Structure 1
Amino acid sequence: MAGAKSGALIGAFAGPVGITLGSLAGAILGGLAGGTAGGLAGAKMGEEFDSHVLDNYECHHCGTAFTQNER
């Protein structure tokens, strides 16, 4: 929403059409930036979750938990 407001403010110098196009462009660019940031954060969080939670093994005989290191 902040991107749309910024675009409308900048587009206001070109009149009513500028406000409309500026709002649309600001909303699109704001959505792209937010989606990119969220995607990167989610990928990093998923990687950490995979390596610390899902990559654990447990011995059925003694119950010891361990991780297997990559070589």
Structure 2
Amino acid sequence: MLSATAQGLAEHGWHDFTLERVADASGISRVTLYRRGITGDVVLDALVVGATQAWQAAIWPTMTAQGSGG
């Protein structure tokens, strides 16, 4: 579902982002998302958390390596 969220943002931007588009791209109904308690804020938050974790994982080796970093 996170890839569908990212795809929706890439195609439509923040202003035209809807949970219905995420549901369509995920192959499930919007009602199913609501029944599971998934809102637009939930999927956007999960996307931001995932991007943050990927960024941290990418820089962690450099931050913890020996030396000056210069």
- Asked if these proteins are the same fold (TM beyond 0.5), I'd say no
What is the TM-score normalised by the length of structure 2? Answer: 0.43
Identify which of structures 1 and 2 has the higher relative contact order when contacts are C-alpha pairs closer than 8 Å and 6+ apart: 2
Larger Rg: 1
